[in-house]
A and B are shown apart, each in its own frame.
Chain A
Amino acid sequence: MSRKQWFLIIFAGLAGAVIAFAPLPVRVTPPAQRTLRVEANQFAYSPAVLAVNPGDTVTIELVSTDVVHGLYVDGYGVSVTADPGQTTRLTFTADRSGSFRFRCNVTCGALHTFMIGKIQVGSNILLWRALGLTILASLVAIILFPRPAKAQAA
């Protein structure tokens, strides 16, 4: 490999590390108390996508309109279950930002394992980092290995 290529690899490595790990300035919104009502029925939550700010104290009021359902929040490991017609509450501090799936943790029928919602705490920073890495990877590979078509057709 030429010197230029080594340069590019090192540069790409550094850029990749920055995209993957650099701390970002977080927009600080004063933490608030939030109560979100989520209805569960076979096999969906509504609303299915919740958004809160980092630091918020979140209370999810889970109401089931058919059978017993649960709600388990990935990444937080907290959960709650609700009998039909009854409202139960789950309160936790949203101290990790990112996008987390929540899912039913009470076997409730055929599509139970796919009964899924999402809670966004602040922005989905890991997604942005992943998208950045993808574009970087693709660009670097294109530059690193020069277009063979032109090189050969000449």
Chain B
Amino acid sequence: MRSELTRFPLVKALLKNRWPQLLVFIVMLAGFLFAILSGFIGTPVGSSNFGIVFVWIAWWAILILVAVPFFGRGWCAVCPIPLPGEWIQRGAILEPPSRKPRWLNLRWPNKLRNIWLQNLTFTLVALFSSVILTTPTVTAIVLAGMLFLAIGMSIVFERRTFCRYICPVGGFIGLYAQAAPLELRVKDKRVCATCKDKPCYNGSQVGYGCPWDVFPGGLTRNTYCGLCMECLRTCLYDNIVVNARPFAADLAKPSTRLDETFKAFIMLGAAMIYAGVLLGPWGALKLAAYSVGTTAWLGYAAAFLALIFGILPAFFTLAVKVGQRLSRASTPQHLFSKFATALVPLGLMFWVAFSLSFVLTNAAYILTALSDPFGWGWNLFGMAGIAWQPYLNALLVPLQTLVLVGGLLWTVRTAQKVGTEVRVSPIPVIVFCTLATLVMLGLLL
């Protein structure tokens, strides 16, 4: 059921060579810096500012509708945020230099080798999202902050600690990358066992040791491999392959880590909250989410946190417990985390359904922002005057229905497979997911 893509010489050459990647990097970095610039100097009106429109409409659309579902961490392979830091850390832009720069190169503390910090950063961004999403300067500050933090961390720590442990985007990309039909793996683990220097992890003259601090020979899921292609370049035995594979192949081995489980709850809850707050007709709720620091906002924040860290996990625990009762099973370990694997396809499809509506209704701003990026009355491509209108409006509801119902089927299958493995009835968990889908439909349609 897997098909090796790197068996095509052209594909392999394109991935292995540093130049194609560098070209994309440069375009991305330029766009990223331009987004920051326009956030600072352009119009304060979000929907007319290149920074807002390109990050939150164009980039977001590509990320959640295409990149993550089909390419997993594909975005991380071309993301500009860690680049300046990485170049400084390496003292090179292409191949490793003959003399390495001497930075601190510290190891990341063991206690923090998990994604709890990423859960925290995402939750923070989510709590302030109504402001970040709509205010160009705030978006610019957040983007610039990520860039500089990544640089700082590259100087202090080894490898890409910002990506692995801090980046709020990277956390959920990793979670949902498990569902993608693409993977980087080794061909034959026995070759790795006899490979002495393990250049894929330790680096060599031709390339760097895995920047994501992963040992490629041990890869079993996509979560923490950033698809940077270094190991493809360094492996002495031509043992690294990129495969097309069935969707969700990683979910066959359910996660047992609580940090990843809570990532799934955060994403699921946030999708539902955004669908209600941003796309619903309740003006007071929107204003509460926007008015950071007021009592109304505190109430919103409290409700947000309660849903994500209290209500959803509580009902889910209940569902798992009832399932245990139904099957009179003993108590296998990590039941909660294992069943939460089902929330990966569910949450991903919630985000797709939410984003379809958000993106299609606001896509017109992409054209105007291209022609007039700063909102200064320019008309570079003659599209500045295009009147706003939603695109594909008639298709939206059928598409969202298809996505959510299809997503639920996928979720049910995932839950059933977990159930088989742990010998606990998945039906209560399925009921939980079905109810969540009904709520999401009610909010979106």
Interface residues of A (CB under 8 A from B): 43-46, 48-49, 72, 74-75, 77, 98-99, 101, 103, 105, 107, 109-118, 124, 126-127, 129-131, 133-135, 137-138, 141-142, 145, 147-150, 152-153
Contacts and interface: CB of A to CB of B under 8 A. Distances in A.
B135 interface: yes
B317 interface: no
B393 A74 contact: yes
A114 B434 contact: no
Given A118-B281, A148-B420, A126 B401 contact: yes
Of listed A109, A115, A133, A141, residue having the most chain B CB within 10 A: A141
Nearest to A108: B45
B441 A127 contact: yes
Nearest to B394: A75
Interface in B400-439: 401, 404-405, 408-409, 412-413, 416, 419-420, 423-427, 430-431, 433-434, 437-438
A101 B420 CA distance: 43
B159 to A, nearest CB: 39
Contacts, number: 147
11 contacts: A44-B287, A74-B390, A112-B47, A114-B134, A116-B281, A134-B404, A134-B408, A141-B413, A141-B430, A142-B412, A149-B326
A115 B401 CA distance: 23
A138 B281 contact: no
B388 interface: yes
Given A105-B388, A110-B131, A149-B419, 4 more contacts: A45-B281, A49-B281, A110-B46, A147-B419
B282 interface: yes
Given A137-B405, A147-B419, A126 B327 contact: no
B57 to A, nearest CB: 9
A148 B419 contact: yes
Contacts of B394: 75
Would you call the interface of chain B mostly helix, strand, loop, or mixed? helix
Given A43-B283, A44-B286, A142-B412, A113 B389 contact: no
A110 to B, nearest CB: 4
B407 to A, nearest CB: 10
A148 B401 contact: no
A74 B281 CA distance: 14
Contact of A153 (B46, B329, B390): B329
A99 B41 CA distance: 40
B13 interface: no
Contacts of B287: 43-44, 111
B290 A111 contact: yes
A150 B328 CA distance: 9
A141 B409 contact: yes
B362 interface: yes
A152 B413 contact: no
A133 B416 contact: no
Contact of B393 (A75, A109, A130): A75
Interface in B349-379: 361-362, 365
B283 A45 contact: yes
B420 A134 contact: no
B58 to A, nearest CB: 14
A148 B416 contact: yes
A100 to B, nearest CB: 9
How extensive is the interface on chain B, given as a class?
A: 35 or more
B329 A149 contact: yes
B430 A111 contact: no
B442 interface: yes
A130 B419 contact: no
A153 B423 contact: yes
A113 B327 contact: no
A138 B416 contact: no
A115 B394 CA distance: 20
B193 interface: no
A149 B441 contact: no
B281 A48 contact: yes
A149 B420 contact: yes
Given A103-B361, A113-B362, A48 B405 contact: no
B445 interface: yes
Contacts of A110: 46, 131, 134-135, 290
Nearest to A146: B416
Contacts of B327: 147, 149-150, 153
B280 interface: yes
B425 A109 contact: no
Given A103-B361, A141-B413, A130 B401 contact: yes
B393 to A, nearest CB: 5
Contacts of B409: 137, 141
A116 to B, nearest CB: 6
A130 B441 contact: yes
B389 A114 contact: no
Contacts of B424: 149
Nearest to A110: B134
B48 interface: yes
B40 to A, nearest CB: 17
A33 to B, nearest CB: 24
A130 to B, nearest CB: 4
B278 interface: yes
